[in-house]
Amino acid sequence: MATIDDVAKLAGVSIATVSRVFNNSPLVSEKARQKVLKAAEELGYKPSMPARSLAMKKTNTIGLIVPDISNPYYAEVVRGIEDVCNIYKYNITLCNADNKREKEFQYIEMLKNRWVDGIIFHCDYFSEEHYKVFKNDNIKVVLAGRTTKFDVPYVGIDNFKAAYDAVNYLISLGHKRIGIIHGPLGDMKETIDSVDRLRGYKQALIDNGLPIYEGFIKEANFKYKSAYNAAKEMLKEKIKPTAIFAISDIMAMGAINAVFDSGLSCPEDVSVMGFDNIDLSEATRPSLTTVSQPMYEIGAVAARMLIKMLNGENIDEYQTILEHKIVVRNSCISRKD
Amino acid sequence: MATIDDVAKLAGVSIATVSRVFNNSPLVSEKARQKVLKAAEELGYKPSMPARSLAMKKTNTIGLIVPDISNPYYAEVVRGIEDVCNIYKYNITLCNADNKREKEFQYIEMLKNRWVDGIIFHCDYFSEEHYKVFKNDNIKVVLAGRTTKFDVPYVGIDNFKAAYDAVNYLISLGHKRIGIIHGPLGDMKETIDSVDRLRGYKQALIDNGLPIYEGFIKEANFKYKSAYNAAKEMLKEKIKPTAIFAISDIMAMGAINAVFDSGLSCPEDVSVMGFDNIDLSEATRPSLTTVSQPMYEIGAVAARMLIKMLNGENIDEYQTILEHKIVVRNSCISRKD
DNA sequence: CAATTTACTGTAACCGCTTACAGTTATATT
DNA sequence: AATATAACTGTAAGCGGTTACAGTAAATTG
């Protein structure tokens, strides 16, 4: 590969001039610029990024830690991130941490050693430990799809409100016995999706004067099968729910199939509501009524935010809540009883 | 951030010794090693990857170009890649090229400038132009999920045979009128999924003495909606197919819903067969009978292959065909007519 | 026309690491 | 005890860029 020296020699100028040309410095004469460009062209020269990174202490790379890229939700977020990074000439280093603390910290360490300019972090729960690591090492980070009480930039949705709205919608349809399939709860003290959504569910019931029945509250792990099993359980109760709110679309699909396999039908006997609005939620049978999260947008906004931070620009709102909305399809119908 | 100089000073040794310790060189006394380790610990020192890359001309990074990470198929492949890269301490730079030639070449150029050690490439069709670029720049590359006539390492499946098997299975079930929804065909001359699968489809019909009817051959673009429309078209024909083979699961979901929305039922009136076996194919209603591609495995094998190449190891089989298999679920039933 | 000013240009130090090569000790050998 | 050998260790020259600073030539000014 041709180096800056080769170009300088061929163009008959110093390496400083070559460097200036490639950095669009105004301090180069048009004549020199042309000579350099011609020589570079001839040699197929492009500046070496590692060398440049070392000299400038900037890698133009953003580290991206997600739980699992094979989950359609994260894949969509990542797509949003990559698209805006690409526009701004940033590159992305992808890491799958499976929500394991150890892997997360390992990756953070590694990204740090690689001098990434910043990190976009996506985990189920942002702990004090996380906060400290980023703080101590002075790593620029933005949380995607997650909110936190710590002083860290984030972009996400209001999970409490989203769940509240979803359940409210079900109630407005006339449902009185509404079950929920939530995710792992952790220690219940922190701001994590599952906890907030469960709170939203309960609050909606309370505000509408409906009772909270523990038999209608089941935990699963965001996988299809676990939700299927949870729904099956729920449908074994003597008094059955008329609606089930699953806090992810994939879990909702599990619930729908559980309904069918329990000899009932959806939405006639049991309405099922999802969460996320992944691509395939319109492809299920019945198609899913769900709470739409702007996944692509979450990624895109997070990336834009981080890049602004890296440029030293001021960001007015560095903790952003994006709008969710209810997407009505065919898995929920109204009820009289 | 502490540098190697800081550590050397604190430990009272030269930077060469520090470097040796961190490279596990045997040329260091135990005493020196301890001093260095202690100093490094104290300063929180870890070698700078960019500096190391520059000195060693090795970045420990693999470039990854896929059409679109938000497609569950690619997401799964990428997950396989990342997992094995992680084991071997490689990092991944993710690029979404949307199957656009221009973007692909742009990304290749960029990855080259970043001195990635190698590239795992995933596109719909590997052209001579691609071949030349990789060849000329002497870029180590392995194709994932794609085969080619060119002398390039790859790991994929036998798409012709897979489609042949799928259609054969349908025929064995008694189907005689079988439609196909394939993907974009390009110029029809090259080895791309759609072409190979379409060929497999036709060959299976021919080998079983069944006629090829153009009305049963529809093109779509791998999106849910396009397949839905294609299937709708197909079902408008006077003589309707009793089975539809869609060459991706997502398209199969489109087909299933088109069947329903045409007032027919699946699988009773029309069987639908998919391709890929993505996670959600067991979650549809009816669950999908499909051709399973080992997506994770394709990624993992490709990564392992590339890393071996980077280590200068010999690879016995550098063009690998992985096994597909038919996964029988509920979307296809036998037919008498 | 000399003195400034302007507009470039080149030299060299530096970014943080690796590694060839040349020491320098300590140990073994005779 | 002198020498050869082994076992480390340090110096310095890269890797391929950026950039402060000094230098030079051309343009402007008085």
Residues A107 and A121: their CA atoms lie apart, in Å, by: 11
Q: What is the DSSP string of B139-195?
A: --EEEES---SSS--EEEE-HHHHHHHHHHHHHHTT--SEEEEE---TTSSS--HHH
pLDDT in tens, A37-90: 999 999 999 999 999 999 999 999 999 999 999 999 999 999 999 999 999 999
Question: Is some CB atom of chain B closer than 8 A to the CB atom of A78?
Answer: yes
Regarding beta strands B325-327 and B289-292, do their DSSP bridges make them parallel or antiparallel, or are they unpaired? antiparallel
Nucleotides on strand D lying under 7 Å from protein C-beta: 7-12, 14-20
Task: For residue B189, name the pLDDT band (cuts at 50, 70, 90).
Answer: low
Is residue B49 over pLDDT 80? yes
Note whether A122 and A67 are within 8 A (CB).
yes
What CA dihedral angle connects B135, B137, B138 and B140, to 10 degrees? -90
Q: Calculate mean pLDDT across residues A166-182.
A: 97
Nucleic acid strand C within 7 Å of A230 CB: no
Coil vs helix vs strand at B14: coil
Nucleotides on strand C lying under 7 Å from protein C-beta: 7-12, 14-20
B59-157+295-323 matches B159-293 in fold: yes
Q: Give bridge partners of residue A180 from the DSSP assignment.
A: A217, A245
Under the phi-then-psi rule, with left for phi > 0, alpha for psi from -120 to 50, and beta for the rest, what region is A277?
Answer: left
Note whether A275 and A252 are within 8 A (CB).
yes
pLDDT in tens, B83-118: 999 999 999 999 999 999 999 999 999 999 999 999
Nucleic acid strand C within 7 Å of B17 CB: no
Task: For residue A337, name the pLDDT band (cuts at 50, 70, 90).
Answer: confident
Q: Residue B253: list chain A partners with CB under 8 A.
A: 280, 283-284
List, as own/partner pairs, every contact residues B203-207 make where C-beta atoms lie below 8 angstroms and the sequence separation is at least 24, other chains included. Answer: B203/B160, B203/B164, B204/B163, B204/B164, B204/B165, B204/B166, B204/B167, B204/B168, B204/B171, B205/B167, B205/B171, B205/B178, B207/B168
pLDDT top residue among B187 and B210: B210
Taking a contact as any Cβ pair under 8 Å apart, which residues of chain A between 236 and 275 contact chain B?
250, 253-254, 256-257, 260
Q: What per-residue string of b and e applies to A130-158 under the rule 16 or more CB within 10 Å gives b?
A: bbebbeeeebbbbbbbbbbebebbbbbbb
Q: Calculate mean pLDDT across residues A303-313.
A: 95
Of B61, B75, B257, the CB nearest to A283: B257
Question: Is some CB atom of chain B closer than 8 A to the CB atom of A67?
Answer: no
Distance linking the first and last C-alpha atoms of chain A: 75
Mean pLDDT (chain B) is 95
Beta strands in A165-242 (DSSP E): 178-182, 217-219
pLDDT in tens, B62-90: 999 999 999 999 999 999 999 999 999 99
Please give the share of chain A, as a percent, with pLDDT higher than 70.
Answer: 99
Coil vs helix vs strand at A246: strand
Predicted local confidence at residue B259, as pLDDT: 97
Q: Which residue ranges make up each domain of chain B?
A: 4-47, 59-157+295-323, 159-293
Overall CATH class of domain B59-157+295-323 = alpha beta
**Whose CA is closest to A90, among B69, B17, B94, B14?**
B94
Burial class of B158 by CB neighbour count within 10 A (0 to 12, 13 to 18, 19+): middle
Task: For residue A316, name the pLDDT band (cuts at 50, 70, 90).
Answer: confident
Do the Cβ atoms of A113 and B69 come within 8 Å?
no
Q: Using CA of residue A109, residue A110, residue A111, residue A115, what is the dihedral sign?
A: positive
Give the architecture (CATH level 2) of A59-157+295-322: 3-Layer(aba) Sandwich (3.40)
Is residue A15 over pLDDT 80? yes
Do the Cβ atoms of B79 and A93 come within 8 Å?
no
At residue A79, φ and ψ (nearest 5 deg) are -60, -40
Is residue B315 over pLDDT 90? no
Mean pLDDT (chain A) is 95
Do the Cβ atoms of B109 and A284 come within 8 Å?
no
Task: For residue B191, name the pLDDT band (cuts at 50, 70, 90).
Answer: low
Q: Give bridge partners of residue B91 from the DSSP assignment.
A: B61
pLDDT in tens, A248-281: 999 999 999 999 999 999 999 999 999 999 988 9
Give the architecture (CATH level 2) of B4-47: Orthogonal Bundle (1.10)
Do the Cβ atoms of A94 and B114 come within 8 Å?
no
pLDDT in tens, B129-138: 999 999 999 9
Predicted local confidence at residue B71, as pLDDT: 93
Question: Is some CB atom of chain A closer than 8 A to the CB atom of B139?
Answer: no
Distance from CA of B126 to the nearest CA of A (A): 23
Q: Residue A220: list chain B partners with CB under 8 A.
A: none
Predicted local confidence at residue A190, as pLDDT: 59
Alpha-carbon distances of A116 from A15, A90, B83, rounded to whole Å: 27, 10, 20
pLDDT in tens, B241-285: 999 999 999 999 999 999 999 999 999 999 999 999 998 899 998
Residues B299 and B297: their CA atoms lie apart, in Å, by: 5
Overall CATH class of domain A159-293 = alpha beta
Please give the share of chain B, as a percent, with pLDDT higher than 70.
Answer: 99
At residue A141, φ and ψ (nearest 5 deg) are -145, 145
Which residue has the least CA–C1' distance to nucleotide C15?
Answer: A55
Regarding beta strands A325-327 and A289-292, do their DSSP bridges make them parallel or antiparallel, or are they unpaired? antiparallel
Nearest residue of chain A to residue B261 (CA atoms): A285
Is residue A189 over pLDDT 70? no
